[in-house]
Amino acid sequence: MDQKKFNKHTKLSVVIPCYNEELTLNRCVGNVLKIADTKLSLEVIIVDDCSSDKSHSIALELEKRHPEIIVFRHAENQGKGAALRTGFKEATGDFVAVQDADLEYDPDDLRRLLIPLINEDADVVLGSRFLSAGFHRVLYFWHSMGNRFLTFISNMLTDLNLTDMETCYKVFRRDVIKKITIEENRFGFEPEIVAKIAHMRLRIFEVGISYRGRTYEEGKKIRAKDGFRALYCIFKYNAHRAPVPIQLLIYLFIGGIAAIVNFVTFLLLFRSGIAVIIAAPASFILAATVNFILCITILFKHKAKWNSATEVMVYLIIVTSVGLLDLLITKGLLSAEFSASFSKIMATGATFILNFVGRRSMVFPERPLGPWKPQIK
């Protein structure tokens, strides 16, 4: 099938988040409008994120000239993610695409991204700057490496094999994007949306696209802090559903912090003359508290949600059981005349796996997600 032609009429909603893009907005929108034909109609949604230049007035003028353009404006600057949240809410097309207001991406590529969606092979299609297709401006090496690194970490936690997680070009079935709640306001949108479509078990395709990157002098807005935020978002939105080996590595980090708290507290209490039968449980309880807080903020849940007394009881039973095992091992090794340090290290290591299994499978169970089922038209 010719990739430039569609076999049925399609309506595409193109959401354009805009902040201080007076130099490029008019040309960008003009390029988007050019891709329409008898088989492809457009709805262009420009969301001005409280620009301080002439972007909003340019957008309003475009809206007057083109009936397919709708303009929204935020009363205060909130970020790209917030602008997309507004645009997605208003979209009415069969499919919804993201288009930055600059000239880095060629809208003609959107036609190729639509092919797997129109053929009902995909639910989401991402445009990759790292797959061979079209022209590419040669720019920042470390910026490119940063993108690849973030994509690599994202793939580890989502179990996808994307080549460009940070790409602007993402096209969705409208019923898919309407089901997703966007939480991030800035560039954290990219890893967040990739995490959420991965969790929905969607059919995801990648298509190579051209890329005309711009320099910071030309208006590029993403900064190093956005890269660190992206890394945080990758863990925030993926850790609780990451593959078990990855979760175990994250829990190793959490468990390591809790183990240090356990170890140091025990030694301080024991060397202060407090009996082991008190020092061991006390240090364990403190470590368990630290472990729990880190689990609900990093790994298993973003917030503690005690829905029933049963969940509380399960957690207490597991903590008590592991605490007793920790005490028995510690006392046993001390009785065998091992040092306090060695005894506590061995007890901590022996209870690590039991802690992880108990928390993941009983205290913080995640309901398995089956493949997402599209709405029947």
Q: What is the pLDDT of residues 337-375, one digit of tens each?
A: 889 888 888 887 777 777 777 777 777 777 666 555 655
Nearest to 114 by CA among 127, 131, 130: 127
Do 183 and 291 share a domain, yes or no? no
- The last residue of one of the domains, among 217, 241, 265, is 241
Report the number of distinct structural domains present in the chain. 2
Rounded Cα distance between 56 and 338, Å, is 74
Is residue 368 domain-resident? no
CA distances from 76 to 49, 58, 355 (A): 7, 18, 46
Nearest to 15 by CA among 54, 71, 56: 71
Tokens of 342: 């060695």
Rounded Cα distance between 90 and 92, Å, is 7
Helix (H) or strand (E) holding 208: strand 204-208
Question: Residues 285-311: pLDDT tens digits?
Answer: 898 888 878 887 778 765 555 566 776
Do 181 and 305 share a domain, yes or no? no
Do 228 and 277 share a domain, yes or no? no
Do 283 and 146 share a domain, yes or no? no
Rounded Cα distance between 126 and 287, Å, is 43
Question: Residues 311-341: pLDDT tens digits?
Answer: 677 778 887 888 888 889 888 999 998 898 8
- The last residue of one of the domains, among 241, 268, 296, is 241
- Give the domain extent around 318: 244-363
- The last residue of one of the domains, among 241, 262, 291, is 241
Question: Residues 223-277: pLDDT tens digits?
Answer: 677 778 889 999 989 988 888 888 888 888 888 898 899 889 999 998 999 998 8
| pLDDT at residue 220 is higher than 80 | no
Is residue 375 domain-resident? no
β-bridge mates for residue 127, sequence order: 207
Rounded Cα distance between 376 and 361, Å, is 35
